[in-house]
Amino acid sequence: MEQTNSIYSKMIYYGRILFAVIGLSVTGLVAANAAQQVNNTVGKTNTKTTAKQSDARMAWWQDARFGMFIHWGIYAVPAHAEWYMTNGHVPRGKYEEYAKQFDPTKFNADQWVKIAKEAGMKYLVITSKHHDGFCMFNTKATSYNVVKATPWHKDPLLALSRACHRYGVRFCVYYSIMDWHSPDQLAANPDAENPTYNPTSFVPGKKEAYIAYMKAELKELIDQYHPALIWFDGEWMNGWTDQDGRNLYGYLRSLDPKLIINNRIKGAGDYETPEQQIPPNGLPGHDWETCMTINGSWGYNAEDHNWKSADTLLHNLIDIASKGGNYLLNVGPDATGVIPQPEVQRLKEMGAWLKINGQAIYGTMASPFTEQLPWGRCTRETTTEGTTLNLLVFDWPKDGKLFVPKLKNPIADAYLLTVSGEHKQLKTVNSNDGVIIFVPPVAPDKIASVIVLKIKGALQVE
Ligand code: FHN
């Protein structure tokens, strides 16, 4: 089933970028003059976030760099991914039938979290309610939920939140503002036999009712599962405004001062969310996260075998980290509760690489080099003595010399990260316009090898 959402999501994405550029540039101007306080005026709840509070809240997320996205819902039953209700023009009553067929007896929360943990993923974001409106958690707000409406009668978010706690992975939830099942939202084309839902609009006079429903569910998600982050989506529905987003942001902030909220709440948000692509220069001065599928589908699609290689996925992670971003990589479990093996295999390979080289990714900042390095990427850490540069080399030099342009500092220490864990010391010399590192003939890793440079004092790149 061709997903028209890919075209639509591109339209949404570029709309978001436009908003982000306008919004952020205005915010940037305001922030430059403001006393470092951002007032989220929120209806009755007036919350203030200072830069210091924001930094403290974002610290674990900035260090994490790599997370698992999980798109799982009753759309796994027809197995044409998560937009099937609209792409397949499925009437609400007929789509509800899939809930009665959803019985994922092979679901194992510990297994899923272990896959994430062993892949080197530090947080996990699962769809609590996607656009189809089906709630994958126990809620009193509607009986259209996984505990009440399926023969399975279990709460996967409870199991996953507990497993994440056991394995030290941050538990987070995705929540769609647009809701194709809600009686308070109208389908784009409500044709009884052949409906199209996206984008919905509010039923006249029902917007406040829907906001109250959403707030009740979001409070349940916070109270029952204590997510570290809420990943909003579906903000492009008609009638949802920037102010609605700011009001909702302030409400959530009042429930949990530490909760991280993405920019798709609209009008507010703690970080930007480019989708299926890596911004060429990152998003300087902003926290950001690229979300991406391993094949071409978010939700399970039995016909989509277009898997990216582990090399590509790792190079994406390295590229993103070198630009100061996070990588939220998606899996789409099937209706039995199993993550497809091609996804599991790639994540295992990424975890094996990170086990040896993770120090070049986790807790790092963007490269100090403004131009793309010809042989790979670089990440940076500030230490008490000075700076550590991690050189992530994709193309290993054939002449035994790796040239780092524009780096003027003398190198206090230089070594290779190796499979054995020993640091293989390397010789370096400064030339007029950079540093030459003498490297062994064979790269330690076929995907990316890491050279660590320790630099004393202030970094000099010019
Ligand atoms: O329409 C959704 C889509 O199904 C998926 O959830 C992605 C993930 O970022 N978000 C929207 C498209 O931008």
User: How many angstroms is it from 132 CA to the middle of ligand 1?
Assistant: 12
- Mean pLDDT per 10-residue interval, the chain, length 462 residues: 48 57 42 37 44 88 98 98 98 98 98 98 99 98 98 98 98 99 98 96 98 98 98 98 98 98 98 98 97 98 98 98 98 98 98 98 97 96 94 98 97 95 94 96 96 96 91
CA of 206 from ligand 1 middle (Å) equals 25
- Give the pLDDT score at 51: 75
**Residue 42: strand, helix, or coil:** strand
Annotate 14-38 with DSSP letters as a single string: HHHHHHHHHHHHHHHHHHHHS-SEE
Q: What are phi and psi of 56, to 5 degrees?
A: -60, -40
Residue 14's pLDDT is what?
A: 56
Cα 311 to middle of ligand 1, angstroms: 24
Identify the pLDDT of residue 383: 86
78 CA distance to ligand 1 middle (Å):
18
Supply the pTM of this predicted model.
Answer: 0.92
Mutate to test the pocket of ligand 1, among 136, 275, 277 (most ligand atoms within 8 A of CB): 275
The residue type of 337 is: G
> Measured from the CA of 127, which atom of ligand 1 is nearest?
6
Residue with tokens 């529905």: 237
pLDDT of amino acid 52: 77
CB 294 within 8 A of CB 344: no
Out of 4, 178, 233, mutate this one to test ligand 1's pocket (max ligand atoms within 8 Å of CB): namely: 233
d(CA 372, CA 379) in angstroms, rounded, equals 12
- Six-digit token string for 412: 């206090």
Q: Whose CA is nearest to atom 10 of ligand 1?
A: 233
Residue ranges around ligand 1 (CB below 6 Å): 5, 9, 12, 82-83, 233, 275, 291, 298
Dihedral of alpha carbons 221, 223, 225, 228, sign: positive
At 41 the pLDDT is: 33
- Looking at domain 376-455, its CATH superfamily turns out to be Golgi alpha-mannosidase II (2.60.40.1180)
CATH superfamily of 7-360: Glycosidases (3.20.20.80)
* Residue 346, C-beta contacts closer than 8 angstroms, at least 6 positions apart: 294, 307, 308, 309, 310, 313
The domain limits of the chain are 7-360, 376-455
pLDDT given for residue 141 in this prediction: 98
Phi, psi dihedral angles at 215 (to 5 degrees): -65, -40
Q: Running DSSP on this structure, what letter comes out for residue 82?
A: T
Q: How far does residue 455's CA lie from ligand 1's centre (Å)?
A: 42
Residue-level pLDDT at 28 = 40
CA 239 – ligand 1 centroid, Å? 19
Q: Which atom of ligand 1 is nearest to the CA of 69?
A: 8
Distance 9 CA to ligand 1 centre (A): 7
Nearest CA to ligand 1 atom 6: 298
